Amino acid sequence: MGEVAQRPLDRALEGWASGSLEAGLRAALSVLEVQKESALALLACSYLGGKLGDPAGFADGLRAAAERATDAGQLPLAIVAGALSRELGLDPAPIFDAAAAAYGKGSARLKRQAPPALPGGAVKPASVPNSLAGKALIERVEKAVRASAEELLTAHGHGPLSPAPLFSSLDPPALRSFLEIFEPRVMPAGAPVVEEKTFGGDAFVVAHGELEVTRHGAVDADPVHLARLGAGALVGEMALLSRAPRSATVVTAAPALLLTASKQALDVAVTKNPELGREFAEHCRRRMLDNLVKASPILRSVSPLERAELVRRFSIRAFEQGERIIQQGHAPDGLFLIASGEVAVVHQDEAAESTVLARLGPGETVGEVALVLRRPAIAEVVANHPTVTLLLPAERFLEMARAHPKVLVDLYELAVGRDQETAAAAEIEAADLDDSILV
């Protein structure tokens, strides 16, 4: 889609999101009149037209928008069209049936590498004056939707499609029922989708627009930009699977159309379709590793080539909330890199008084003081939330240190610094205790 045509579509979504439906409709119409094949313009005109006029007159428009989106490789947009039909009281079955048949596992249309959809040229939008409103606006929209739907429904293709991540792991009947769990959500630019460190169970798929993913981490740390995601991307799935707080903040960079699914509905779908669960888990594992590499000073200090080799030495170890990861006075199982969740580092003095020395999150390391300085753990480490770590077993630490001496130097510096901090904290505790005895 061309640059010039893109901006009115953003305006269409902004109007839709803010409840200025006529303004949104005028913007979408200005595109549809010059680009009959624009799935998003047709979808917005049909839905907003159906909201403001008679929904029955826009059923074909939504169906044609879904078919166009399907052919253009935009399955999430086709699902939005189905969900919007349902919302307008129309029958969504033809849309969901067609989408499931095209993208379900085993579909004859699915090819590993389908040719990418050709972008449309830049087209000047049609002039739609602000004075066009009410019945006159609906009539003109009906005409444009009819013309577009007629053309698209006859031209509906059977060309090859690339598999849709996650969705194409399901065969058509399973995909058909999975498609029904999603609800559409339109959002203006700059709106929060999920907020780091909060709890939430919904997951989202981007149907149109762009999302910015950022991690703020500690209060005084600089935010780390993690990703910019576009159509087809999945977000919010990590908290759902790990049960940890949200790992990042996600904000719309431009007006967006999202699909949302609740944790309960996703849990049911995953139980029914183990393949879907495996795809979810693999997706999360990749993102967790990606984030760990971006956040961990230890991993970042080695070259990307070395890093992949280094990460392969670790295995995943998950802990439930409240579970002990390291026991004070004992040798730890190894070196832990926190991938998601949060741990508390707690020191217990001789009088069995506990002091929380730190709370550590993704990218931080625990277990290095005991391993590097070769002595029992000076504090206990407990999971504050469900926590996922990468573990390098103690017996393989030396071998890793030989292969990556730079990592050993970094760990040594970290260990010495933390050991001093803990000793200082213990001294303060002891002094406090002495004072209290004197008093």
Q: Which residue shows structure tokens 């379709």?
A: 273
Instruction: List the Cα angle 21/23/28 in 5-degree steps.
Output: 90
- The closest of 59, 19, 20, 22 to 42, measured between CA atoms, is 59
Q: Which is nearer to ligand CMP, 213 or 379 (CB)?
A: 213
How far is residue 326 CA from its own chain's centroid? 31
| Residue 318 lies near ligand CMP (rule: CB under 6 A) | no
Indicate which single residue of 109, 208, 243, 287 sits in contact with ligand CMP (rule: CB under 6 A).
287
| Residue 299 lies near ligand CMP (rule: CB under 6 A) | no
| Residue 281 lies near ligand CMP (rule: CB under 6 A) | no
* Rounded-to-integer distance, Cα 208 and Cα 54, Å: 26
| Residue 250 lies near ligand CMP (rule: CB under 6 A) | yes
| Residue 100 lies near ligand CMP (rule: CB under 6 A) | no
| Residue 385 lies near ligand CMP (rule: CB under 6 A) | no
Q: Which is nearer to ligand CMP, 39 or 194 (CB)?
A: 194
- Residue 360 structure tokens: 């550590």
* Rounded-to-integer distance, Cα 249 and Cα 292, Å: 16
Site for ligand CMP in 193-222 (CB under 6 A): 194, 213
* Rounded-to-integer distance, Cα 84 and Cα 210, Å: 21
Instruction: Please count the CA atoms within 13 angstroms of the CA of 293 that sit on its side-chain side.
Output: 19
Instruction: List the Cα angle 317/320/324 in 5-degree steps.
Output: 80
3-class DSSP state of 161: strand
| Binding range to ligand CMP, per CB under 6 A, among 19-27, 96-104, 223-231, 314-322 | 223-231
CB of 198 to ligand CMP, least distance (A): 9
Q: Which is nearer to ligand CMP, 87 or 195 (CB)?
A: 195
3-class DSSP state of 335: strand
CB of 259 to ligand CMP, least distance (A): 14
| Binding range to ligand CMP, per CB under 6 A, among 50-58, 113-121, 246-254, 420-428 | 246-254
- The closest of 104, 110, 253 to 191, measured between CA atoms, is 253
Residues in the chain: 439
| Residue 243 lies near ligand CMP (rule: CB under 6 A) | no
# of chain residues touching ligand CMP (CB under 6 A): 17
Indicate which single residue of 70, 247, 273, 387 sits in contact with ligand CMP (rule: CB under 6 A).
247
| Residue 238 lies near ligand CMP (rule: CB under 6 A) | yes
| Residue 252 lies near ligand CMP (rule: CB under 6 A) | no
| Residue 276 lies near ligand CMP (rule: CB under 6 A) | no
* Rounded-to-integer distance, Cα 5 and Cα 404, Å: 52
- The closest of 316, 284, 321, 341 to 391, measured between CA atoms, is 316
| Binding range to ligand CMP, per CB under 6 A, among 88-96, 160-168, 247-255, 374-382 | 247-255
| Residue 142 lies near ligand CMP (rule: CB under 6 A) | no
| Residue 83 lies near ligand CMP (rule: CB under 6 A) | no
| Residue 267 lies near ligand CMP (rule: CB under 6 A) | no
| Binding range to ligand CMP, per CB under 6 A, among 73-81, 122-130, 244-252, 259-267 | 244-252
Indicate which single residue of 28, 62, 235, 425 sits in contact with ligand CMP (rule: CB under 6 A).
235
CA distances from 421 to 326, 384, 417, 418 (A): 18, 21, 6, 5
What residues contact 51, with CB distance under 8 A and at least 6 apart?
A: 21, 88
How far is residue 68 CA from its own chain's centroid? 26
Parallel, antiparallel, or unpaired for β 211-215 and 334-340?
Answer: unpaired
| Residue 338 lies near ligand CMP (rule: CB under 6 A) | no
Give residues in contact with ligand CMP (CB under 6 A): 194, 213, 226-227, 229, 235-239, 246-248, 250, 287, 290-291
